[in-house]
Amino acid sequence: MEWLSDLSVISGPLPWILTVIGVLGGVWLLAARAPWYPRKAIPICLAVSVMVTVVLYVMVEKVLRPFPDPIEISIYVWIGLGLFAIVLLVPRIRAGRTVKAAVVSVLAVLAVLLASATQINLVFDAYPTVGTAFGAEPFDRVQMNDLGSTAETVVTGTPLDASWTAPPGMPSEGRVLTAGVPGTASGFAARDAEIYLPPAYFANPRPLLPVLVMLAGQPGSPEDWFAGGKLATTMNEFAAKHGGLAPIVVVADGTGSQIANPLCVDSKLGNVATYLAKDVPSWVKSNLQVNPDPKVWAIGGLSYGGTCSLQMATNYPDVYPTFLDISGQEEPTLGDHQRTLDDGFGGDEAAFKRVNPLDLMASKQYPDSAGVFVIGSDDDAYKPGAQKVYQAAKDAGMDVQYVEVPGGHSFAVWSAGLEKELPWLAQRLGLIGS
C-alpha cells in the first residue's frame, strides 16, 4: 500500500475528489424531507455554527492572539462549515427516521469534515501525502544507544567530498534520532529535538560532518520539518548524489510548546537565545561526532524559525556565521510592537533594539557572515519584511542572497526553499566543492 501512502493530498485529483465528496455529504445533510427540518433545524444549526465560529475568531484574533499574524479567513470558513455539519447531525438523523439514513448521515458529516480538513491543509501544505496525514514517516529511525561509540578513524578536508570515498556497507539513506537536549545553561524547557543523521555518519571511517540547526514555526514543533518540510527526503536525495554526505540536521525546539512564542530571546518568556547558542551546540558536540568548527555550523528555519535564525546569526555570529531565513518576519513580534515590548522586554525599547537584527545590522558589520533569505512569491504579508532585512544584511557586510520561490506562506515554499538552497549551504559549510 505504499502507493496510497505516497498519494498527494495537496496536488493532483485527490483534493478535488475529497472536496466533491464533502459537497455531496453537505447536500445530504441539507436535503431531509421533514417539513420542520428546513424551517427550524437548518436555520438554528446555521446560527449556532456561525456564532461559535465568530466567537472562535474573536478569541483567537482579538483576545488571546496566540499567533503574531492573523489566520486566513478561509480557515475560519472551513471550520464553520465543519461545525455546521456536526450540529446538523442529530436533527438530520431524527428527520431520516431509519437506521440506514442515520448511517449515511454520519458518513456525510465525516465527508464534510474531511473536505474541510483537506481545504485547510491546502492553505498550509502541512501534510503533503496521505501517509504524512496519518503519521507515517518516510524514513527510518535510530536510537541513541544504537549509534555506537565514537569512530577512531575520521575523514576531514575542505571540501570534505574531495577526501571522501563511500565505503562498502554504508546505508543508502539516513536515519532520524529523537533526543532530549536539556537547557543546562539556559534553563529553557525544550521539547525533544529531531536529528537527521546522513548515511555517511554510519560509515567507518566516519567523516566529520557540518551541522545545520533548523527551527520550526509558531505554532509548530520539530516534527513539522519532517512532515510538511520533507527534510529527511531532501537530505537523503542530496546524500545519494554525494556519496552519502549531507549535513547533520538538528531540528531543535525554539518555542517550548506548540503555540508558545518566546521571541527567540532571553526573557521572562524563556531563555531561548542561550538555549540555541550554548545548550544545543554543547549537547551536539558532546553526544554526536561532528565537526566542532563554528565555520561549518549554520542555522535556519521557517516563519518564526526564520526570524529566529537571523536573530541568532546577528546576536551570535561566532556560533552561527551562516543562516537560512525562510519566510522570516521583519523583526521578532507578538503581533504588534507595543505588545512585543511589554510582554517580552518589560516595555524597554532599548532592550529590544539590543537584540533586534535590523538594529544590530544598522550599527555593526558582519563581514564573516553569509545567508539566504527565501520568500514565497505570493507571500504579500512577509515579502516586504524579507526584502528589508535582506538589504539591511547586505549593507552590514554580509554575503547574502534574496530568493523567491512559487507559493505563499506555506510548507510548499519552506520545503522548496530548503531543497533549493541546500547545495549552497553544503558549499558554504565545506561539505562539497563549488
pTM for this entry: 0.94
List, in order, residues 6 or more apart from 146 with CB less than 8 Å away: none
Same domain, 119 and 219: no
List helix spans (H) across 216-294.
231-241, 272-274, 280-287
Residue 343 in grid coordinates: 510582554
DSSP H or E segment with residue 102: helix 99-124
**Mean pLDDT per 10-residue section of the chain, whose length is 434 residues:** 84 95 97 94 98 97 90 96 98 94 97 98 94 90 90 92 94 97 98 98 96 98 97 98 98 97 97 99 98 98 98 99 98 95 96 98 98 98 97 99 97 98 98 92
Angle (CA) 162-164-169 rounded to 5° is 155
Taking alpha carbons only, the member of 76, 78, 101 closest to residue 90 is 101
* Cβ(96)–Cβ(32) below 8 Å: yes
Query: Are 193 and 178 a contacting pair, CB within 8 Å?
Result: yes
Judge whether 399 and 369 are in contact, CB under 8 Å: yes
For residue 105, give its domain range. Answer: 2-131
Q: How far apart are alpha carbons 245 and 424 in whole angstroms?
A: 14
Q: How far apart are CA 288 and CA 1, in angstroms?
A: 36
Residue with C-alpha cell 446555521?
46
Residue 171 lies in a domain: yes
Long-range contacts of residues 223-227, Cβ cutoff 8 Å, at least 24 apart: 223/194, 223/251, 224/126, 224/411, 225/194, 225/251, 225/302, 226/137, 226/139, 226/176, 226/194, 226/196, 226/251, 227/126, 227/127, 227/128, 227/132
Is position 433 within any domain?
A: no
Whether 284 is in a domain gets the answer yes
Q: Structural domain tally of the chain?
A: 2
Is there a single domain that holds both residue 161 and residue 127? no
Burial class (CB within 10 angstroms; exposed 0-12, middle 13-18, buried 19+) of 397: middle
Q: Does residue 72 lie in a domain region?
A: yes
CA–CA distance from 345 to each of 69, 74, 203, 351 (Å)? 20, 34, 47, 6
Could you tell me if 76 and 153 lie in one domain? no
- 298 and 206 belong to one structural domain: yes
Rounded CA-CA distance 328/324 in Å is 10
Is the Cβ–Cβ distance between 322 and 300 less than 8 Å? no
Co-location of 97 and 167 in the same domain: no
Cα–Cα distance between 41 and 54 in angstroms, integer? Answer: 20
Assess whether 211 and 194 both reside in one domain: yes
Query: Within this chain, do residues 91 and 200 fall inside the same structural domain, yes or no?
Result: no
153, three cell numbers: 578513524
CATH of the domain at 207: 3.40.50.1820
Give yes or no: residues 124 and 142 share one domain: no
Do 104 and 9 lie in a common domain?
A: yes
User: Is the domain of 126 the same as that of 145?
Assistant: no
Residues 329, 305: contact at Cβ < 8 Å?
no
- Residue 262 near residue 187 (C-beta atoms within 8 A): no
Of 98, 131, 164, the residue at which a domain comes to its end is 131
